[in-house]
Structure 1
Amino acid sequence: MTKREPDIKTRILLAAKKLFALQGYDGTSVRQICDEAGANLSLVSYHFGGKEKVFEALFERYFLVRIPDEHDSSMSPVEGLVLIIRELIRFTSVDREMSDIVQLEMALRTNRNAAMYPFLEPIWTRLTGLLQAGKDQGIFRIDSVSYSMLMVLSVSLSPQRAFNTKFMVDFEQENPDHLADQTVTFALRGLGVSRHEWTNRL
């Protein structure tokens, strides 16, 4: 049985994802996207309405990060935090191109950030809520929820930066699950959660 060829819209999205990750949104032309996808130049406008809409469609199709339900009262702050960390590690490991696009756009602070916020804001909001709940319950021994949120996000997304450097030559061999375990341990220790407390809550 032969592998089915992706449809033209998917080919355009995959080409854009690859090129935006490699050379940035502004450094990528519609013609380059179409050449990479093997598509007629007019099809970007026909299917998406332009390059900006292709950017938005990438997030709708490929930004897949599961976060804990804020109405799930059975999940502890530690459980929720661990789920978010593991999801972010999985995201950076499975789709490095989308991870690169997110981090590049955030670093450049472009007007395209507005297109990303509907996908990123629920993560920040839920993470902040979990940290606040954990602090209120005495689980997380932290002074600033906002600062702690930034630290957790940084340590969860930092593996992607390592993929793009020469500092860790053996990093490609790292198992994502093992990497997630190490990241969870590092983050919980930084939040002041003892091993006894987090093993009892997971």
Structure 2
Amino acid sequence: MSTGDTDMRLRILYAAKKLFARQGYDGTSVRQICEEAGANVALISYYFGGKENLLRAIFDQFFPGKRMSEFEEELQAPVGGLTLLIREIILFGLEDPELSKIVKQELELSSPRTAIVLAFIEPVWRKVRELLEKGRAEGSFQFDSLDHTLMFVMGAALSFKKLSVHQGLLTEPAHEPRTAADHIVKLMLTSLRAPGTNA
């Protein structure tokens, strides 16, 4: 693929991500995406083979969970692995609100594209569950119910996407995303009574 093709393909991906987040998948036409990207309408079929494949390509391009294999060694240790994954999940929600919103929309609607979204997010949450289970077996974490603990961890990790909704309850100055992620991870590890957290 030439540099020009690569640039145009990326422009289409960015335009689609922006419009899907703003208007929803069903509320966005191929024509609108191409107008936003400054592209010929035929290029959606040429590069992606249609609108649904374009959605899949957005996840291929931007979803950070697909990089889990790069951290295979770090993800073997329960405390370090959980810290890494939860931090990345929080940062994803804060740093790519468009893709995060697309995930939320498709899952809440139980849309025909739910399977595409789950193919990307489920491996991440399965790894979180595996690390919790392994950590409890090794004595790194202390908790009773694996299912309830997983739901607690998921809730804490995903709650930061809703900061603007609860702004009236918050009194401290906003933290930059990495500091906010570190605070939530520390609270989570403390609640799991991980070593070194003074729980």
Measured against the shorter chain, the TM-score band is 0.7 to 0.9
**Alignment identity in percent?**
42
> Does residue 1:93 correspond to 2:94, yes or no?
yes
The aligned residue for residue 60 of structure 2 is 60
Contact 2:75/2:81 (CA < 8 Å) preserved in 1?
A: no
The aligned residue for residue 49 of structure 1 is 49
Q: Return closer, same or farther for 1:179/1:113 CA change in 2, 3 Å cut-off.
A: same
Contact 1:21/1:101 (CA < 8 Å) preserved in 2?
A: yes
Superposed CA RMSD in Å reads 2.9
Distance in 2 separating the partners of 1:73 and 1:181: 17
Query: What is the SS of the residue equivalent to 2:64?
Result: coil
C-alpha displacement at 1:153, in angstroms? 1.8
Distance in 2 separating the partners of 1:70 and 1:178: 21
Contact 2:190/2:197 (CA < 8 Å) preserved in 1?
A: no
Where does the alignment leave 5 or more consecutive residues of structure 2 unmatched?
none
Where does the alignment leave 5 or more consecutive residues of structure 1 unmatched?
none
Distance in 1 separating the partners of 2:174 and 2:71: 35
The aligned residue for residue 20 of structure 1 is 20
The aligned residue for residue 125 of structure 1 is 126
The aligned residue for residue 143 of structure 1 is 144
The aligned residue for residue 162 of structure 2 is 161
Q: Return closer, same or farther for 1:126/1:49 CA change in 2, 3 Å cut-off.
A: same
Query: What is the SS of the residue equivalent to 1:192?
Result: coil
TM score, norm. by length of structure 2: 0.84
Distance in 2 separating the partners of 1:12 and 1:55: 11
- The structure that is helix-richer by fraction is 2
Contact 1:78/1:198 (CA < 8 Å) preserved in 2?
A: no
TM score, norm. by length of structure 1: 0.83
